[in-house]
């Protein structure tokens, strides 16, 4: 994670640990471990992006058709946002979005 959480309160350690585990799971092509599907989130128009709610954070799993010049593929990866009560004034996102060919993404998601 990059920071020493040993001195933080248990609730903060839990939020950071669960957010990190979910983020890394999605990077590896797996579903989030802790966050649950957010049924209240609006449906995206791309048909593949999914929204999750964790303890003190929101996780978006972006999966969107993308074109760059003559390359046509899929943008895929996690976008993590901490809730304002946990991270007041922090509006930045943490993300790891990559563009894959359809076959490469299918292989990644099968692992």
Its pTM stands at: 0.89
pLDDT over 60 (residue 1): no
pLDDT at 35 over 90: yes
Q: What is the pLDDT of residues 38-83, one digit of tens each?
A: 999 888 877 689 999 999 999 999 999 999 899 999 999 999 999 9
Q: How far apart are CA 102 and CA 87, in angstroms?
A: 36
What 3-state DSSP class applies to 67?
A: strand
Higher pLDDT, 95 or 90: 95
When the pLDDT of each residue in the chain is averaged and rounded to a whole number, the result is 91
Please give the pLDDT value at position 97. Answer: 96
What DSSP line would sit under 51-83, residue for residue?
EEEETTEEEEEEEEEEEETTEEEEEEEEEEEE-
């Amino acid at each position: 994670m990059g920071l020493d959480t040993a001195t933080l309160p248990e609730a903060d350690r839990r939020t950071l640990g669960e957010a990190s585990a979910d983020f890394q799971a999605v990077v590896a092509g797996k579903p989030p471990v802790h966050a649950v599907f957010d049924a209240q989130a609006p449906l995206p128009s791309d048909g593949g992006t999914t929204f999750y709610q964790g303890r003190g954070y929101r996780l978006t799993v972006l999966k969107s058709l993308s074109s760059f010049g003559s390359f046509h593929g899929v943008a895929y990866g996690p976008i993590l946002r901490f809730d304002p009560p946990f991270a007041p004034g922090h509006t930045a996102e943490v993300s790891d979005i990559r563009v894959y060919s359809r076959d490469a993404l299918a292989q990644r998601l099968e692992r």
